[in-house]
Amino acid sequence: MLPNFTYVCASSEKEAIKHLASDGARIHAGGTDLLGCLRDHVFTARKIVSISKLDSLHGIRKTAEGGLRVGALATITEVARNPIIRDRYHVLAQAASEVASPQLRNQGTIGGNICQKPRCWYYRGEFHCLRKGGDQCFAAGGENQFHCIFGGDMCYIVHPSDTSPALLSLGASVQISGKRGSRTVLMEHFHIPPGQDVQKETILEPDEIVTAILLPPASPAMKSSYRKVRARQSWDFALAGTALAIQFSGATVEKARVVFSGVAPVPWRSKEVEKTITGKRLDANLAAKAAEAAVKGAEAMEKNAYKIPLLRGIVEEELIAIAKL
């Protein structure tokens, strides 16, 4: 059951920011993640500030620089179906279309997707864990089959978002408004690893709103794709996945961004894979090498060792596939 809270529907960014400054205020976009957290008593809220009426946060449009501005309130479905995204930012359309289920994609927003809370069952369950202000990570010695193999540090969540790795691979940035004005932050710096702050997932201050996501102009030489493996084919998060954005010159990789999902507390950029393939002809041999590089430094816990061969398999398969696109 939900806690008691007051509800306001802000009519301007300014008004929303003002409400958010009050103690225990939470942003409500599509509510698909927020309401679940409240019902499960993961955290509580005294005031729910709906941003759904803020026109400036809606819509997907081209920018003057030739990139794309995706409003924070664009639904996952809108992102998945947008013709420009499908055409030039394929990895994002693909990632969006693999999110959750049709109902959740219709209701959930891209802003909410990158801000969503972790899915660790200890965090979501009746466990007073480190991330909730407790003094223990239950996953470390517990049931950690869905936890991270990279970047674990006191807390071993994986970042649940599919769109975030795609956005990171595209070099996207996040537009933010708050009581001290607005700022734009690279997607790469938006999420916070547990080693930095175990109770925060993003750099947002309580009064800050994501207003939009900015995609830089897409080079025609870029190919991009997203591959996600899960325990069932819908309504499920990634066990492991990879976003690829690669600029080719012929069969040779000129520039590459490789970002993993489902294996780390933040979208996990693999400089190792990028290094392995950049400047080389992408063929089956190189893909196999890159797959080995992908899992360098991975540390398995008791129950998630499968993620290492899984990630290796995904990277190899997907690199071969993108070369053929």
Partner 1 sequence: MKQDEKGVYYAKDIFVTETPEPGKDPKPWGKTAVIGKSQSRIDAYERVSGTAVYPSDLSLPNMLYGAILRCPHPHAIIKKVDTSRANKMPGVLAIISAATSEADIYWSYSKDVKTKLFDPHCRFEGETIAAVAAQTPYQASDALRSIQVDYQILPYIVDEQNALESGATKVHEGGNLVKPEETYFRGDIEKGFAQADVVLEESYRTECQVHTPMEPHGCVAYWDGDLLVIHESTQGVYSVQSNVAQTLGLPLSKVRVIGHYMGGGFGSKLVAGKYTVITALLAKRTGRPVKLFLTREETYLCTGNRPPANMTLKAGVKKDGTLTALDFSVTGTGGAYPAGGTALVDWLIKDLYTCPNVSTKATDVYINTGPARPFRAPGHPQGAWALEQMMDALAEAVGIDPVQLRLKNIPSYSQAREGNPPYTTTGLKDCLEQGAQAFRWNERKKEIEGFNSSKHLRRGVGMASCLWIAGGGGPPSTIILKLFSDGSVNLNMGASDIGTGTKTVMAMVVAEELNVRTEMIQIEHADTGTTQYATPSGGSKTVPTETPAVRSAAINIKQQLLQMAADDLKTQVSTLHFNGDEIVAKNDNSIKIKISEISGLKKRGVVVGIGYRGPNPEGKVVNPFAAQFCEVEVNTKTGEVRIIDFLGANDSGRVMDRLTYDNQVYGGITMGIGFAMTEVRILDSNDTGKMLNRNWHDYKLPTALDMPPHMESLPIDLPDTEANITGAKGLGEPVTIPTAAAIANAVYHATGVRIRKTPLNPTQLSMIFSEHLKEK
Ligand X SMILES: Cc1cc2nc3c(=O)[nH]c(=O)nc-3n(C[C@H](O)[C@H](O)[C@H](O)COP(=O)(O)OP(=O)(O)OC[C@H]3O[C@@H](n4cnc5c(N)ncnc54)[C@H](O)[C@@H]3O)c2cc1C
Residue 115 binds: one of ligand X, partner 1, none (C-beta under 5 to 8 A by kind): ligand X
Residue 66 binds: one of ligand X, partner 1, none (C-beta under 5 to 8 A by kind): none
Residue 30 binds: one of partner 1, ligand X, none (C-beta under 5 to 8 A by kind): ligand X
Residues 224-243 that bind partner 1 (CB under 8 A): 229-236, 239
Residue 309 binds: one of partner 1, ligand X, none (C-beta under 5 to 8 A by kind): partner 1
State the nearest-atom distance from the C-beta of 80 to partner 1, in Å.
Answer: 16
Total of residues contacting partner 1 (CB under 8 A): 33
The yes or no reply on residue 317 touching partner 1 (CB under 8 A) is yes
Provide CB contacts within 8 A for 104, sequence distance 6+.
32, 76, 235
Task: Locate the DSSP E strands across the chain.
Answer: 6-9, 25-28, 47-50, 60-62, 68-71, 173-178, 181-186, 209-215, 222-229, 240-249, 252-261, 268-269
State the nearest-atom distance from the C-beta of 105 to ligand X, in Å.
Answer: 7
> Contact with ligand X (CB under 6 A): which of 10, 13, 33, 85?
33
Which class for 291: exposed (0-12), middle (13-18), buried (19 or more C-beta within 10 A)?
A: buried
The answer to whether the CB of 152 falls within 8 A of the CB of 71 is: no
What sign does the dihedral 186-190-71-165 (CA atoms) show?
positive
- Helices 307-324 and 284-294, axial angle in degrees (round to 10): 150
3-state SS class at 293 = helix
State the nearest-atom distance from the C-beta of 275 to ligand X, in Å.
Answer: 27
Q: What is the pattern of x (binds partner 1, CB under 8 A) and - over residues 80-109? A: ---------------------x--------
Residue 113 binds: one of partner 1, ligand X, none (C-beta under 5 to 8 A by kind): ligand X
* CA-to-CA separations, 134 to 62, 143, 154, in angstroms, rounded: 45, 18, 12
Q: What is the pattern of x (binds ligand X, CB under 6 A) and - over residues 72-111? A: x---x----------------------xx---x--xxx-x
